Structures are given as structure tokens and as C-alpha cells.
Amino acid sequence: MAERRRVALVTGGSRGLGAVIAGVLAGRGYDLVIGGRDRDALNHVTHALSAPLETRQPGPRSRVLAVAGDLTEPGTRTSYLDAARQLGGLDVLVNNASELGPIGPLVNFDVNRLGRLFPVNAAVPLWLTQLAAPMLSERQGLVVNITSDASVAAYPGWGPYAASKAALELISRTLAAELAEQGIAVVLVDPGDMRTRMHQEAFAGEDISDRPLPEVTVPFWQWLFDREPATLAGQRVRAQQENAPWLQLA
């Protein structure tokens, strides 16, 4: 009997941190569902992840299914989970897709935009966890929710985004307590400040070259995906933490 393949689902997987996480998972033999709103970018990442071994990192060749669409739409979320079922199930759900928007003081903020930030940053991870829970429970799986240090600080200009990530943190800790009996572990990961398109768009016209690229987090993800999910349940971990055990892998 063929060995069962592990399957991971990564939202916001078409570029930046999501593409880095997907690459680590592919290198560890996972089949993948990746998603994003940019179909061309998704196709590029899909080709790279499923390329022959000599053109990417070592490991079994992955099956990769891409889902393009807006995750606030129910049909897109359903398509993600249908793709995971097509691959045989789900072991890891990485809720990476986020929206930041322009940085500025709260007194000038268009409050209507909370109707976009909270659904994308807090509600979508909950919706996907609800849909994925039966498959994750079957495999004693892991949910990784991407947070931010802004959620635990009062950075001027970052208030709306920070509030949505703070909501995600409380949702995640509650899910960790509620899903433990089903064998599902939920962990929060703060990846740290990075040079991504989302950050560049927030600081339009500014030089953010002093920030590291998302690849700086690769040793952390290698460490994380080597852990038994149950040992991580309810934790909040910083990917760029100084003197962390995963830095020995760099």
C-alpha cells in the first residue's frame, strides 16, 4: 500500500511569506493547495513548487493545486477545501492571507474599511478552520494563524490592522482550547517585519530595503513542521526570535 501523502493548505500563497511557507512544505514532501487573488502569480508559484527535483529543494515532487479568488467569498473558501479533499485530506492549514492597507492615524481612518480588514484578517481564518476541522481532526492536524507584533503593541498608524490581528489572536487561543479534544492544534506565528509587497504598499514610495526578505523565516518553518502538533497547541511563536532553537538550522 502506498504511503499516505501529507497535505497542506496555504492561503496567500502566491508570493511573499506564503510562497516561502509553501516552498518549505513542498520540500518536506507535502502536497499543497495554495491560493491568492492573482492568478498569474499563483501559476508561477505552482510551476515552481511542482517542478522536477533538480530545479527546487530536495524532497518528493509535490502535487500542487491552485485556487484563485477572494477568500471573503464563500465559494472561494469551499473551493480550497474541495481541492484538499481531491488531494486526500488535510494535515496543515496555514492562514497567511492578510490585508494591511495604507498606514495612517486613526483620526483620519476610513472606518468603513474595518468591513474589509476584519473579514480578511480575522473571520477568514475562522471560516476556514470551521470548514477544515473534520479533515484536520482525522489526521491530528495543525492550524497556523499568522499574526503580527502590531497586535500586542500600539504602533502609531497601525491601529486598524493591529485590531484585526488582535481579534485573530483571541480567536486562535479560543480555538486552541476548544479543538484540543478533537486532536487539532492551533498555533499563532508572528513572522516579524519583512520586505513584502504588502508592506511596500503600506509605505508607498518609501525605501523598505532594510527589512529582511521572507526567506529569513525558512529555518523557523523547518523547525515548526518537525514538531508534533499537540506540543504547539495554543502557543504564540516569533519566527525571528533571537537565540531561538531553530536558528541552529540556518
Nearest of 5, 10, 236 to residue 128 by alpha carbon: 10
Contact (Cβ atoms closer than 8 angstroms) between residue 97 and residue 72: no
Q: Rounded to 5 degrees, what angle do the CA atoms 19, 151, 94 make?
A: 30
In DSSP notation, 114-173 reads HHHHHIIIIIHHHHHHHHHHHHHHHTT-EEEEE--GGGGS--TT-HHHHHHHHHHHHHHH
- Out of 30, 80, 155, 161, the active site residue is 161
Distance CA 250, CA 245 (A): 10
Identify whether 161 is a catalytic site residue. Answer: yes
Positions marked catalytic: 161
